[in-house]
Each structure stands twice: as C-alpha cells, then as structure tokens.
Structure 1
Amino acid sequence: MTAVAEGTTLAAVDLGSNSFHMIVGRVTEGELVIVDRIKEMVRLAGGLDPETRDLDAETQERALACLERFGQRLNHLPAVNVRAVGTNTLRSARNAGAFRERAEAALGHRIEIVAGMEEARLIYLGVTRSLAGEGRQLVMDIGGGSTEFIIGTGPEPETLESLHMGCVSTSRAHFPEGRITEKAADRARRAVASELEPIRGRFRRQGWERAIGASGTIRSVARVLAAQEWAPPETITADGLKKLWKRLLKAGSAEEAKLKGLKEERLPVFAGGAAVLTTAMEVLGIEEMEVSDGAMREGLLQDLLGRLHHTDVRGRTVESLCQRYHVDTEHAARVAATAGGLLDQLEPEADDDRPWYLEWAARLHEIGLDIAHSSYHKHGAYILANADMAGFSRAEQAILAALVRAHRRKFRRDTFDTVDPARRQDVARLAILLRLAAALHRSRDDTALPQPEVKEDGTTWTLTFPAGWLEEHPLTVTDLETEADFLADAGYTLRFGDTGTG
C-alpha cells in the first residue's frame, strides 16, 4: 500500500437497512473534501421476511438497480479507494451471501458486512469528524434495523452498543400500513424500552456532557420539529417530541399529520423511528440532542483514508488482542517476518491486503494458548471469528480465523468454507505460508533464521535452505517432515532440501 497522493478520490458506500448512501471525497492537503453525495431510499429491511429471514426478490432488484447506478460513478476508481459495507439487514438475512455476490457485481466493488460494534465505531468516527468538541459525548444513530449508542471522549469511543431496533423494523412491527394509535405507540415504546434495559444503567452511570444524533431518522425528526417551531434548528428536545406525538396520535398517521418538513419518502418509517428516538431519550434521560451531518459513511471515508495513510485501526486492534491474550509478541513477530518473507518471494509486488492478513494472522496465531494448549489453534480461530474487532469486517475476521485455524495440525479444506468463495484459494495459500513459518520457528529460538528460498508450482511447494543448515537442525527437519505429511493429506506436496542437494 502506498501513501495517499494529493487529489486522490476515495468513496464509501453504506448499504443501510433503510437507505443506501454513496459519498465521494477528494484528498486536499491531507484532508478529505466531500465532492459528491447520493442517497436512495431502498428500504432493505422492509423486504426481509420475518419468518424465513430471506430478502424478497423485489427488494433485491430495487437494491441492485441502486448499486448499478452507484457503480457507474465508481467504475473508474481502483478497489483500494472504495469501501462498501452492509449493516443490520445484511447481517440478519439468511440469503445475504447470494445477494452480496450479485450486489458486488452490480457495484463493481467488494462489499463487506460489518458487525454492530464496528458499525457503531464507524458512526462515532463520522460524527466526531463533523462536530468538533471537547468532553464526553453520547452519540445515537437510528438505522433501519438497528440503533447504535456510543459514549466517547474526543475522537475515541469508549463504550459501544448496537441494539436490534430501527425505524423500519419498529414501523413494521407496531405501525403496519402507517396507522398510529395510542395502543400501538405504547407497544412500540415498551418494546424499545425493553431493548434499552440492558444498557440503561451502565450508560447513565458513565454519563456525558452532550448528546448527538446522527443519520436519517434523527435528521428527519429535527427538520420536522424546526419546521413546526417546536425546537431550535438542528436540535431535538423532549418537549418538541411530546408535541410531535400529540399531532401524530390526533391525526392517526404521519401522512395525515401534514407535518411541514417531512419528506414523502420518510412517511412509511417515520412513526417507528420517532418511537425509538423518543423512548431512547426518555430512558437515558436526554432532554436535548444536537444533530450531526456526519454518520457512518463519513466514518467509512475517514477510516479508508487512515488505512491508506498507514494509520489503520486494525493494526491497533491486533496489538490489543495480543496484549489481552498474553501473546509472546517476540516469537509472533519472528513468525510474521518469515511468513512475510516467503510471500515476498512469491509475489514481490503484492500491493493488496494479503500481506496484512498474513502478518496479522501470524501475530495472532497463538492467542488460543491463553485458553488452553490443547487445540489452541481452534480456540484462537473461535476468538477471531466472534470477537468485536474494531476496523475488521465479518469477512476479514473469517479470513483471520481460517488462517489461525489452519496454521497447524490437519490442513482441512473445509476450514476455508467460511471465507468468501472468491478468496478461498488465496487464503489457503497464505495458510500454507503461515504453517511453514510456524514450523520453522517451532523451537522458539531467537537466533536468526536463514530465509529459505520458496517456490510454488501448482500444489507442489519447495523450500531450499543454505548448504548444511538442515543437517545442523535435525529437529527442524522432523518438523518439516511432519508438515509434509499433513499437507499431503490435503493434496499438496512439500519438498525441502539445501543448496548442496540440488
């Protein structure tokens, strides 16, 4: 990866549960200047069958058509300059994998599905970039299928939560066909309060100096309150929300309420979003909330810029995991250096993300030892597949988990079943490199290891060492023989020798 040149164009695509957003920025004097924004109301969550958890065909086609339009704007950008992510609905949909393949073809770029905690981190990053300020702050973002709550100080988030409630899901569950009644509103508020109960005490104890709201639902409510003169511009107040609900209940629907400032496209999900917002402010004791222009898409752009500037939060996450699970970092660094050296020989100009995955997996390959030595590679894989890892998408965590799971003992092909099919072969190759590096450093000796020459010819791998080195290290020979047996069971051939045998 290279430094970001002046004038470089970056783009972020947010496949939200209600709306799809695309934002394009240009690097100017090291900062991102937004040059284009596109938003389309797709209502992805509205097409999720509550029983089967499948996205229906009509919604998929609507989403794909939107992504094709986005793709026309992005088709000139290299993959490294674009980051596209899916959120709650794609986390939940049973057929998300099949849809994502079609979506990637329509967009022309890879799409990641991020966990709720990562979504929350990106939201906080986007909000804090758009609203500077000191002190502790609470950020709330109501999406179509989930709502994120983050407490942080300055640019650093401290507490993150993602709850399964949003404007689309709440509207579908409690305000079908847009009907608003006292009974329905009460049910909706009780359901939202129930979701909030596990975090209420912890968040209120932490406290904050300012509350900030982000994304479409909150901005829509703020516009309505300001248009009716129920609250100052860009502000939501508890008193303003009381007046809003009085109007909604009297009218019986958002459409009949004839609210100035409310866009027609927002009508079907307005009541559900307002119920989530009102209840959250009541439960958390918020009297007034500022509204931010920044949200997850702005956070995505900033995170992408950081990756290209080599200030990737994923590196800090790996370091944090190493500390948490008491990794022998010196040994892990030696394994990483050897694995990276082998990859450099095979692909000396690799400029994609594979060198990073290999390095991170090497640094994390022994985290499972903190649980138990027996099957520690399986423990490590479980941690990496399921932990909240800032900066990593689910697909990226699946890659790391597969690499760690495959770095020792049996080399099973089905280990890679959780990896994106388009990447399985590459990840299997990285796993072999990690296996070889781990085997070469099994003695845990800090003496410098000569970098063997590596060659790959189909399923045959060959390692060549300096003359006489293998003879001086008979245990390494035994380790490589064992490794050759494991690889042979998976259909690979490992040959090794020294320059004196060739």
Structure 2
Amino acid sequence: MADSQQNDLSLVAAIDLGSNSFHMVLARVDQGEIRILERLGEKVQLAAGLDENRMLSDEAMQRGLDCLRRFAQLINGLPQGAVRVVGTNALREARNRGQFIRQVQQILGHRTEVVSGREEARLIYLGVAHTLADDSGRRLVADIGGGSTEFIVGERFESLLRESLSVGCVSFSRKFFTDGKITAARYSQAYTAARLELMNIEKAIHRLGWTEAVGASGTIRAIGQCIQAAGKGQGEVSREGLQWLKRKVLKATHVDKLDIQGLKADRQPILPAGLAILEAMFDALGIENMAHSEGAMREGVLYDLLGRQQHEDVRERTLSALMERYHVDSEQAARVEAKAQRLMRKVEGQWHLSISKQVDLLTWAARVHEVGLDIAHHQFHKHGAYLIEHSDLPGFSRQDQQALALLVRGHRRNLPNAERLGEFGEEAGTLLRLCMILRLAILYHHIRGNQDMPELAVEAGQDYLILYFPDGWLEANPLTQADFDQEALYWAKADYRLTVR
C-alpha cells in the first residue's frame, strides 16, 4: 500500500548517502512528472572512515553530518514522506551505523534507510532509465561507487538482472594505493581483484546480452571527461581512450602528480582505483564503448517515491510475487490483513500507531506471515522470517525487511524478547505492539474460511488490552477461548496484560 502521508506532494527530495559522495536532488512534481530544481553533491568519503573492524571513525561521521546540515536547509518544512534518505555500501558495512543514522535523522527530520546492494542497483537503473531516451533495446548499466559497484541489465524501465559487487574506488584506493603511489604492479593487483569479483556475474550478464552500455557514476563520468579533454571522444568511455588514460596514470607515479586535463583535484586520489575497476569491467563483459547518464540512484529514489504516490508501489508487486512463489493462502491473508487493520484503528490513539509506515508494516506482515509454511509446518514462523530477512525484495530497505521479519517471526509462540527488540532502538515498543495486533488478528481467524465472526469492542492502555466478545460467544466457541487464554500467557512474559471478556 502506498504511504498515506505521501499524497498530493508538490516538492520531493532524495538524499543519497554514498560511500564516496553525498548527493541531494530537490524536485517539483508537475502533472505526474519530476522537474529537477536543485542538485547538490559533496565528497564525504564515508568509506574511507571504515577501519578493519568495520567501525566508522568519528571524523568520517562528522564530515557526513556537516554536509547534511547544509543539505537540511533546502528541505526544511517538507512533510514526512516527501523526502527519502538512502544509505548504501559504507552504511551497509558499518557496525556502528545506528549511531550515525540517529544523528542524521535528528539533523534532517526524516527517516534514513539503508538499502541492500541489489536494491541500490534497482534504484540506479530506475534513475538511468528515466534520464535516457526511451527505446526497446537492452541496456547494461554500471555504477562504480566508493565501496561497491552495481551492475544492471534491463529493458526500458524494468531491470532484468541486479547485482552488487564489493569493489569501489574508495575501498580499492585504500587497499592498493594507500600512500598515493602508482605502480604497474599495484594497478595490476587492483585490476585482478576486480576481475575476480566480476567472475561471479559475468556469465549471467553475457547470457542475457545487451546492446548499449551506460555508466552512471561520477567515476565513469570523470574518466570520460579526461578522455574528452584529450580530444579522444565526446564524454563516452572507449576502450582506446581507457588505454590512453591508463598510460597517463601509470606514468604519473603518484596521485599528486596526476596532471590530466579535465580531472578535478578531488578525483585524483581515487582515479587509479576507479580506472582499474572500469578496465576490468570492459575486459570481463566485452565492452567497447560506454556512454554516461546523468541519472543515478538519487533520481531513481525520486521516481520510486513518485510511483508510491501514484499507487504504483514496487513493494506491492514484490509481496505479491513472494506470496505466489511460496503458495500463500491469499484469502486467509486478506482476512488477517483486514482484521489487523480494524484492530489497529481501534487502538491507534492509545498505542500511538497512526504513522503510515506502521500501517504498512502491519499490512505487509499480515500478507506474508505464512510464507514459511511452504518450507515446513514445524517452526514455519522462523522459516518465514528467514526468507523475508534474506531474500532480494525490490523496494524494501534493509530496516524494512528486518522489521517485517521480526513481525513474522513473532506472530506465534513467544513474543520478541527484549534483546531482539533492542536492535530496533526507539521503534522497539511500536514493533512489539504491531506484533501483538497481528497475533490477535491471526487468532481471530484461526479457523480458516468465511466464518461468521463477531465484531469486537476493544479497550487499550499503556500495558494492557481488553477484548470484549458478545455475551455467550466464547462459551460457544471454546477453541477461540483457549487460543486467547494461551495468548494472555505469552503477553504476560512481555509485561503486557491481555484480557478477553
């Protein structure tokens, strides 16, 4: 379901917390089309602040926060749902990302998501596809980031293959060119490391085939600009131009000596690594020429946001496909979903559950709570939670998948314990209550089929909930009575009181 707070938004913004640079795009929505008003970008090199224990340094976090304080001025006053803030590889890797994300949300006033590599790839392709001329050809899109490189094969606006590899211009610079020295041996090591990673995906890309290669990153654009400044192209990257630039880079011997027309100073330290990755890509995938697109992940985030507003939410398609794949009883899921939503409306005031994201999570969980049954009935709630947390679910952030997995895991047997809930920080209490509502809806429809079930009166408080059934109904339906009696015992372990009358 589309986020209810995203209706009728005329101004929208996307912020990309990249491993190398932070970017923001502000746009106006006009007749269903996006008109870019402002683009901002700053080199933060967040990935450079990751140590061997995958901890972000205070200095790297401060660089990012300082940048976001400047970005924040442009989005002050924009409502919830009008701004999407998305983190990528560096935040996927950082063990202390929660500390950084909390500060980001305080500065921007909007929720920050961390997306998987494949979701990042989907968003990149969406941005590129909306920027290039519409044609029916198959495209290969590549984006060399600071900590990862994404590859997508797609047609028009649909991606057919989405992959993310752990090769990036910042991480490779630290690994192979840490002191700035450039040698043929170091370059060869970086190239070989990239080729080894590419071996994991090159067969799949060759099997699909493509007619046009497009680069979407600042690294590929910078390389194209260097080649163009030398009179060897119009901004695209050719194999000949790539080899010319490689010779120039190796001749320099140090990043400080990279005196190449068209190369900006802030690109010098990461050019050798980016070049080695791009050459490996050309050789592994048989690329001869690569055009460049101004569209990238931030534009893709905007178009994804617009799709949610226009009720073309990719998350809906994702869940429908998941339900079909694992043979979910869609009629039972619909009954549980409807009951969960009715219960939520009755307690939303007392339990503070009116935010659209909470409605979405409960709705999604009701739809997919039985996906694990297709694996095995024994502990199917655990199977379902694993599938949801670890599957490639286009449109969902990692936080969304983890929260959804928590609800599915907690829909039967014991409620999520304090340790598990603690991983969700301030959202812990809300997720516990959503889990409780889901469980009640499932118990209410324990007997499958279109049963004649009574409407409930509900009373809720800080740590209790009372359900009122019609007089005599529970006595006439002892299975339901037993279900709710057992449920009250589970709630008691979580310091909540469930009473059924």
What residue in structure 1 maps to residue 379 of structure 2?
375
Find the aligned partners of 1:43 and 1:297 in 2 and give their Cα distance.
Answer: 17
- Select the residue among 432, 437, 442 that pairs with 1:438: 442
Q: Give 1:444 shift.
A: 1.0
Query: Does residue 270 in structure 1 map to residue 271 in structure 2?
Result: yes
Find the aligned partners of 1:425 and 1:75 in 2 and give their Cα distance.
Answer: 28
- Select the residue among 139, 142, 150 that pairs with 2:141: 139
Tell me, what secondary structure is at the counterpart of 1:177?
coil
**Amino acid aligned to 2:369:** H
- The runs of 5 or more residues in structure 2 that have no matched partner are none
**Amino acid aligned to 2:453:** L
What residue in structure 2 maps to residue 428 of structure 1?
432
Q: Give 1:223 shift.
A: 1.0
Q: Give 1:255 shift.
A: 4.0
**Amino acid aligned to 1:201:** K
What residue in structure 2 maps to residue 155 of structure 1?
157
- Select the residue among 476, 482, 485 that pairs with 2:489: 485
- Select the residue among 342, 345, 365 that pairs with 1:361: 365
What residue in structure 2 maps to residue 500 of structure 1?
none
Q: Give 1:303 shift.
A: 0.8
Query: Does residue 205 in structure 1 map to residue 211 in structure 2?
Result: no
Tell me, what secondary structure is at the counterpart of 1:369?
helix
What do the CA deviations read for 1:241-294 (whole angstroms, capped 9, x no partner)?
011111111222344232111111111111111111111011100001110000
After superposition, the Cα gap between the structure-2 partners of 1:4 and 1:490, relative to the gap in structure 1 and judged at 3 Å, is: closer
**Amino acid aligned to 2:55:** D
- 1:215-294 equivalence runs, <5 A: 215-231=217-233, 233-294=234-295
Find the aligned partners of 2:40 and 2:459 in 1 and give their Cα distance.
Answer: 47
What residue in structure 2 maps to residue 10 of structure 1?
12
Q: Give 1:235 shift.
A: 1.1
Tell me, what secondary structure is at the counterpart of 1:347?
helix
What residue in structure 1 maps to residue 339 of structure 2?
338
- Select the residue among 417, 424, 428 that pairs with 1:413: 417
Q: Give 1:415 shift.
A: 6.6
Find the aligned partners of 1:119 and 1:161 in 2 and give their Cα distance.
Answer: 9
TM-score w.r.t. the length of structure 1 is 0.95
**Amino acid aligned to 1:458:** Q
- The runs of 5 or more residues in structure 1 that have no matched partner are 498-502
Find the aligned partners of 2:331 and 2:148 in 1 and give their Cα distance.
Answer: 41
- In terms of mean alpha carbon deviation, does 409-418 or 355-364 score higher? 409-418
**Amino acid aligned to 2:34:** L
Find the aligned partners of 2:159 and 2:128 in 1 and give their Cα distance.
Answer: 11
Find the aligned partners of 2:244 and 2:14 in 1 and give their Cα distance.
Answer: 37
Q: Give 1:99 shift.
A: 1.7
Q: Give 1:407 shift.
A: 0.9
Report if aligned partners of 1:338, 1:451 keep a CA contact under 8 Å in 2: no
Report if aligned partners of 1:137, 1:151 keep a CA contact under 8 Å in 2: yes
Q: Give 1:55 shift.
A: 1.1
Q: Give 1:416 shift.
A: 4.1
Find the aligned partners of 1:449 and 1:229 in 2 and give their Cα distance.
Answer: 76
- Select the residue among 382, 387, 394 that pairs with 2:391: 387
What do the CA deviations read for 1:315-355 (whole angstroms, capped 9, x no partner)?
11111111111111111110111001111122389352111
- Select the residue among 19, 25, 28 that pairs with 1:26: 28
Query: Does residue 456 in structure 1 map to residue 471 in structure 2?
Result: no
Tell me, what secondary structure is at the counterpart of 1:144?
coil
Q: Give 1:448 shift.
A: 4.3
**Amino acid aligned to 1:406:** G
Q: Percent identity?
A: 46
- Select the residue among 400, 404, 420 that pairs with 1:400: 404
Find the aligned partners of 2:305 and 2:335 in 1 and give their Cα distance.
Answer: 29
Find the aligned partners of 1:418 and 1:380 in 2 and give their Cα distance.
Answer: 21
- Select the residue among 31, 42, 45 that pairs with 2:47: 45
Find the aligned partners of 1:30 and 1:94 in 2 and give their Cα distance.
Answer: 39
Find the aligned partners of 1:82 and 1:250 in 2 and give their Cα distance.
Answer: 45
Find the aligned partners of 2:168 and 2:466 in 1 and give their Cα distance.
Answer: 54
Q: RMSD over aligned Cα, in angstroms? A: 1.6
Find the aligned partners of 2:423 and 2:212 in 1 and give their Cα distance.
Answer: 41
**Amino acid aligned to 2:25:** I
Find the aligned partners of 2:162 and 2:148 in 1 and give their Cα distance.
Answer: 13
Find the aligned partners of 2:290 and 2:422 in 1 and give their Cα distance.
Answer: 41
**Amino acid aligned to 1:185:** Y
Q: Give 1:138 shift.
A: 0.6
- In terms of mean alpha carbon deviation, does 454-463 or 20-29 score higher? 454-463
What residue in structure 2 maps to residue 87 of structure 1?
88
Find the aligned partners of 1:228 and 1:253 in 2 and give their Cα distance.
Answer: 20
Q: Give 1:190 shift.
A: 0.6
Tell me, what secondary structure is at the counterpart of 2:200?
helix
Report if aligned partners of 2:182, 2:254 keep a CA contact under 8 Å in 1: yes
Q: Give 1:2 shift.
A: 5.5
Query: Does residue 191 in structure 1 map to residue 193 in structure 2?
Result: yes
Report if aligned partners of 2:227, 2:235 keep a CA contact under 8 Å in 1: no
Tell me, what secondary structure is at the counterpart of 1:178?
coil
- Select the residue among 201, 214, 217 that pairs with 2:216: 214
After superposition, the Cα gap between the structure-2 partners of 1:381 and 1:438, relative to the gap in structure 1 and judged at 3 Å, is: same
What do the CA deviations read for 1:371-414 (whole angstroms, capped 9, x no partner)?
11111111111111111111111111111011111111112323
- In terms of mean alpha carbon deviation, does 92-101 or 358-367 score higher? 92-101
Q: How many residues align?
A: 494
**Amino acid aligned to 2:390:** N
Q: Give 1:106 shift.
A: 2.4
Report if aligned partners of 2:416, 2:432 keep a CA contact under 8 Å in 1: no
Report if aligned partners of 2:467, 2:500 keep a CA contact under 8 Å in 1: yes
What residue in structure 2 maps to residue 322 of structure 1?
323
Tell me, what secondary structure is at the counterpart of 1:180?
coil
Report if aligned partners of 1:85, 1:114 keep a CA contact under 8 Å in 2: yes
Find the aligned partners of 1:366 and 1:47 in 2 and give their Cα distance.
Answer: 42
TM-score w.r.t. the length of structure 2 is 0.96
**Amino acid aligned to 1:438:** I
What residue in structure 2 maps to residue 177 of structure 1?
179
Report if aligned partners of 1:17, 1:143 keep a CA contact under 8 Å in 2: yes
